[in-house]
Amino acid sequence: MKTSKNKTVVITGSSSGFGYLTALTLARKGFNVWATMRNSETNNAPKKEELLKIAKQENLSISVADMDVNSDQSVIKAIQSIVDVEGTIDYLINNAGYMFVGITEAYSIQQAKEQFETNFFGILRTTNAVLPFMRKQREGLIVNVTSLAGRLTFPYFGIYCASKHAVEAYSQALRYELAPFGVEVSIVEPGPFGTNLLFTGPKEENQEVFNAYGDHKDVPHTMLKNFEGFYATDEAPNPQLVADKIASLVEAEKGTRTDRVVAGIDYGVIAYNNKVFPIQESLVKDALQMEHLLTIQK
Cα-Cα end-to-end distance for the chain: 17
Q: Which residue has the higher pLDDT, 56 or 227?
A: 56
How many CB atoms neighbour CB 291 within 10 A?
Answer: 11
Q: How would DSSP label each residue in 90-120?
A: -EEEE-------S-GGGS-HHHHHHHHIIII
Nearest to 95 by CA among 7, 195, 182, 172: 195
Q: Of the ranges 3-7, 109-113, 274-278, which one carries the lowest mean pLDDT score? A: 3-7
Count Cβ atoms within 10 A of the Cβ of residue 46 and give its class: 0-12 exposed, 13-18 middle, 19 or more buried. exposed
In the chain, the percentage of residues whose pLDDT exceeds 70 is 98
- pLDDT tens digit string along 87-126? 999 999 999 999 999 999 999 999 999 999 999 999 999 9
Q: Which residue has the higher pLDDT, 2 or 252?
A: 252
pLDDT at 4: 55
Rg (CA), the chain: 19
Nearest to 184 by CA among 110, 258, 121, 238: 258
Contact 107, 159 (CB under 8 A): yes
Q: How would DSSP label each residue in 191-226?
A: ---SSSGGGSSPPPS-HHHHHHTGGGGGHHHHHHHH
Contact 190, 263 (CB under 8 A): yes
Instruction: Report, as residue numbers or ranges, the catalytic residues.
Output: 160
User: Is residue 5 predicted with pLDDT exceeding 70?
Assistant: no
Nearest to 11 by CA among 73, 76, 90, 85: 90
| Averaged pLDDT score across all residues of the chain | 95
Q: What are the domain boundaries of the chain?
A: 8-294
Work out the average pLDDT over 253-278: 97
Q: Which residue has the higher pLDDT, 195 or 68?
A: 68
pLDDT at 1: 43
- pLDDT tens digit string along 162-194? 999 999 999 999 999 999 999 999 999 999 998
Name the band, by pLDDT with cuts 50, 70 and 90, for residue 231.
confident
* Domain 8-294 sits in CATH 3.10.580.10: no
- pLDDT tens digit string along 60-94? 999 999 999 999 999 999 999 999 999 999 999 99
pLDDT at 8: 98
